[in-house]
Structure 1
Amino acid sequence: MLSRRGLLGGMAAGAMLAPADQLIGKPRTGGRIRVAGIVASTADTLDPAKGGNSSDYMRIFLLYSGLTQCDGALRATPGLAETIETDDNIVWTIRLRRGVQFHNGKSLTADDVVYSLLRHKDPNVGSKVKAVAEQFAGARRVGPLEVELRLTGPNPDIPIILAQPQFAIVENGRRDFSVANGTGPFTLKSFAPGIRTIVRRNPNYWKPGKPYLDEIELIAIPDELSRVNALLSGDVQMVIAVSPGSVKRVKASSSHLIMETKSGLYTDLVMRQDHPVTGNPDFVLGMKHLLDRDLIKRALFRGYATIANDQPISPLDPYYNPGIPQRAFDPEKAKFYLKRSGLLGTRLPVYVSPAATMSVDMGSILQEHAAQIGLKLAINRVPSDGYWSTHWMRHPLTFGNINQRPTTDLMFSLFFQSKATENEAGWKNPKFDKMLIEARQTRDQALRKAIYGEMQWMIHRTGGIGIPVFISLLDGYDRRIRGLQPVPLGGLMGYTFGEHVWLDA
């Protein structure tokens, strides 16, 4: 029997420190800022369960709160839950804070939490974390502010899993998400999908004194150059996803700063395994050997990246397997595999978009190398708007853009488990699925690391994705903004900036 324990820590972050002047000064209340993300479409949502991109995550964390939160070291810290405890990693007791109110004045109770957790299992909800929620055997109210969550099997990562934006708590029975009724730091003022979200300070937020800003407007500027221009002109005060090529420009401004956060974010070449061409194992291996990782790191990311190896677990993760030999850029080996696949000389469309960081340039490099060995790649550049709903995973060859997740289990569950809704490549491996459960169930850390290491081998060998580098996160912001700290889960403090930042006078 495991000893009774509270909130569990996550992995070591390895994040870079924020500039020193961000750590000085007393927070002040007031002010309004505009923040530019990169993604906007008519599919923008106020339903946390359906959040699937960086703009959704920012919106969710502005309006809602989770049972737990992630700190800069990717450890679970208390959120709406004061404690989450277990004796066996199967039955978890969740005790809620007193006095928390939804934006409509309703008090938070155990019923809201039970509803919020179990709704992810309903296929009609369309939850992005349905595959993760399948391990919830049940949730029941024990008292007005106490919930018992029972799993289908042990999982020590539950506290950190519950910090994900999709698991933010909604009102019991809530099905209409044309408006937002959360417990987050801001209330909704206006929402126009594909255009903007405006939120105002929640005076009844459960964290005393927070948030500091009166109002935040969230917009999207998909084009990076336009996004940086908007920052430097003062049209917006914070931008996500600054290109490495723009860093020098921003730093040259006396009014602006850059924050770099080391991360496990990656842009990957997605080769659908349910298509007869891209599902050919020789084709997959050939394409992986065509990825010029050194060139991509040096030319596209100006060194703000770490070489990757077609495995989704980054060196920041304690379960990272460093024993997998680095796959080299090798056109001759690529030609061998592609010839064996019978696809040399074939014309294949590849879909790229600014929505998937640097995929346009990666596609051009890949096209050039492919042409030299007789493979014809037709690069189709499509707009950011609607890319994730219209093109990603809808064509045999696309690019994805996957953010760091706080645990290995969550990364595997969301993107590689056979039944995961965002299994990009449609890669199905029953042995992998079985090992995922085995890793959760073992209490032996060394054994769990060995299992996760073998699973990384499996993706490296046969997974339908090519990951060239792990990308550092680069945020640009007005020098007057204070309170920013790196969180490797994503840009702008893992998308949680809203409750933390303030404007210096």
Structure 2
Amino acid sequence: MDLDRAAASSGLTREELLKRAAVGGAVIVAGGSLVRSAQGAPAGLAASTPKRGGTFRIGVSGGSAKDFIDGQNIVTRPDQARIVTGWETLVVFDSQFKLKFDGLAEEITPNKKGTVWTIRVRPGIEFHNGKTLGAADVKYSLTRLVNKKLGLFGGAALSSVDPKQIKIMDKRTIRATLKKPDGTILDALGQYIAGIVPVGYSPTAVGKANPNIGTGPYMLKSFTPGQQSVHVRNPNYWRTGQPYFDQVVIIDFPDDTARVNALLGGQIDAMTDVPPAQVAVVNGHSGTKVLESPSAAWTPICMRVDAAPFTDVRVRQAMRLIANRPQMVAQALSGHGKIGNDLYAPFDESYAKSLPQRQQDIEKAKSLLKAAGQENLTVDLQSTNGALGMNEGAQVFAQQAKAAGVTVNVKILDSGAFYGDQYLKWPMSTDFWGSRNYLSQVAAGSLPTAPYNETHWPADKKFIALYNQAVVTTDRKKQAEIMFEMQKMEYDTGGYIIWGFSTLLDGYSSKVQGLKQGDKGVLPMNAFGHGYRTIWFA
């Protein structure tokens, strides 16, 4: 449906439709279709009236001396926790994983073909140094995001943006001409790793900006990689009344037990990734609770399709048949999650639900391994405590593999070693991903150009051709058909064992207010309190 037809069907003029899209919580996507954000908020936790003050201390899983802070890139959980303090996106995903105009953009609209996008930012927003956000900053941010030399996570889904075809129209408006029509642009711009940075921000390196500034609710005061960072309230923040804390301190806690003990002992006010076995302990302790949020977060076991023995598709298929997914969710997540089917992006409306749920089949796995000449196979599985389910899932899988005559040696590394020079090169490893729609996830992890393609997929060019076709298809039904074919290819011959989707388990002190039950979790703690601005102390 083009914009004129969309306007006619809703009884509005074209101009009125665009205006409502910009200010009324609706989104214009490529092709002109109108998608409304979810109305109303889920039932919240008992909350007091917001008030200012205090230092909020959060313990985050993982981290190492290689931690960094960059407005457009992350690797580990502490990186995630820090990026949301200071950087914001043009559009956002709401609590039900729907796109919403509640970010820096006042308007984002395409032409009829979806090849030219006009972006206009809100007036009067300032960076931490007092500079007013403008069109030049948006142009610079998009250009930096797609800079292949930097390899930024936030730019993976924006490959259709031509940095040479971004024109400044006025102080607040840019017009970007794409290399091809792209119906995923808004999805990409809404990801928390697509932050808007000022002109001149760290142009040649990741995490080297000085000053390290954005438009977000908190300003960076100090940072010791592998230990902690301190962020102070932005006095000129554009959202009236927010944020509430005077200061936010983000502390690395690679050890689960130490993190839980710090929460129970009052040394921190909240924590990410409560071990499932400790949920009852945290809930049973006076003054602490666990927030459970449904999530599309996944901690796959990754097999490199171009590294022995996984170059043989029969070996990959056998490994998938070894996995007893219900048992993995029950044991690795203590039941706090949903069973996976070797496919990601279950929040996407085009998720391939019709594909048969894969079941454990040890005899067939043995047969496949024998046919591949890999009986009594021994493999190393590298893992780290980067997110809930990585180590636990690896260990349960290793136990299950014994029944098929396969020895899986789980090698648990510290975060610095796992995410060091060998990262993305391990023949077999775990990893973690957050919630994304399907095509955005493909761009981030399942293309040769993806920044985090740990399985080195795809094995042929058909998948790439289908992806290129899907992103330019604005007819949702036709696009869904293409996406199904892509998912079927991954389901049949891919390199991921996606055994489950974890419920986000966040521990918090009862004095922390503003958290919500029922949010679909993109990141922990209701997206880290939307940059720690929507939570406060009672």
TM-score using structure 1 length: 0.94
SS of the equivalent of 2:157 reads: helix
Distance 1:484 1:382 in 2: 33
2:139 partner amino acid: V
2:111 corresponds to: 87
2:441 corresponds to: 411
1:39 corresponds to: 62
2:396 partner amino acid: I
2:160 paired with 1:135: yes
- Report if the CA contact (8 A) 1:40-1:55 is conserved: yes
1:2 partner amino acid: D
Query: Cα deviations across residues 37-70 of structure 1 (Å, max 9, x unaligned)?
Result: 1122233222223322332122111011211222
Query: Cα deviations across residues 319-362 of structure 1 (Å, max 9, x unaligned)?
Result: 11111111111111111111122122233211122224323232
2:536 paired with 1:498: no
1:125 corresponds to: 150
Distance 1:336 1:16 in 2: 51
SS of the equivalent of 2:169 reads: strand
1:231 corresponds to: 263
Instruction: Check 1:10–1:376 CA distance in 2 against 1; reply closer, same or farther (3 A cut).
Output: farther
2:289 partner amino acid: L
1:55 corresponds to: 78
1:427 corresponds to: 457
Structure 1 residue 468, shift from structure 2 partner:
0.6
- Which runs of 5 or more residues in structure 1 are unaligned? none
- Report if the CA contact (8 A) 2:71-2:214 is conserved: no
Matching of residues 248-263 of structure 1 within 5 Å: 248-263=280-295
Structure 1 residue 11, shift from structure 2 partner:
9.9
SS of the equivalent of 1:401 reads: coil
Structure 1 residue 133, shift from structure 2 partner:
2.5
2:189 paired with 1:162: yes
- Report if the CA contact (8 A) 1:10-1:160 is conserved: no
Distance 1:434 1:323 in 2: 23
Distance 1:174 1:503 in 2: 34
Distance 1:25 1:278 in 2: 54
1:95 partner amino acid: R
Distance 2:44 2:393 in 1: 31
Query: Cα deviations across residues 386-411 of structure 1 (Å, max 9, x unaligned)?
Result: 42234542211111111111x22211
Q: Identity of paired residues, percent?
A: 29
- Report if the CA contact (8 A) 1:81-1:96 is conserved: yes
2:134 paired with 1:109: yes
- Report if the CA contact (8 A) 1:179-1:188 is conserved: no
Instruction: Check 1:190–1:168 CA distance in 2 against 1; reply closer, same or farther (3 A cut).
Output: same
Instruction: Check 1:54–1:360 CA distance in 2 against 1; reply closer, same or farther (3 A cut).
Output: closer
TM-score using structure 2 length: 0.88
State the aligned residue count. 500
Distance 1:265 1:476 in 2: 17
Distance 2:398 2:332 in 1: 15
Distance 2:310 2:324 in 1: 19
2:440 partner amino acid: L
Instruction: Check 1:77–1:380 CA distance in 2 against 1; reply closer, same or farther (3 A cut).
Output: same
1:264 corresponds to: 296
2:205 paired with 1:173: no
- Which runs of 5 or more residues in structure 2 are unaligned? 4-13, 22-26, 29-33, 203-207
1:351 corresponds to: 382
1:488 corresponds to: 521
1:494 partner amino acid: A
Dislocated runs of 4+, deviation >4 Å: 8-19
Matching of residues 279-298 of structure 1 within 5 Å: 279-298=311-330
- Report if the CA contact (8 A) 1:46-1:178 is conserved: no
Match of 1:182 among 214, 217, 225: 214
Bigger shift: residues 468-477 or 367-376: 367-376
2:393 paired with 1:372: no
- Report if the CA contact (8 A) 1:392-1:398 is conserved: no
Structure 1 residue 79, shift from structure 2 partner:
1.3
Structure 1 residue 169, shift from structure 2 partner:
1.0
Instruction: Check 1:397–1:469 CA distance in 2 against 1; reply closer, same or farther (3 A cut).
Output: same
Bigger shift: residues 475-484 or 76-85: 76-85
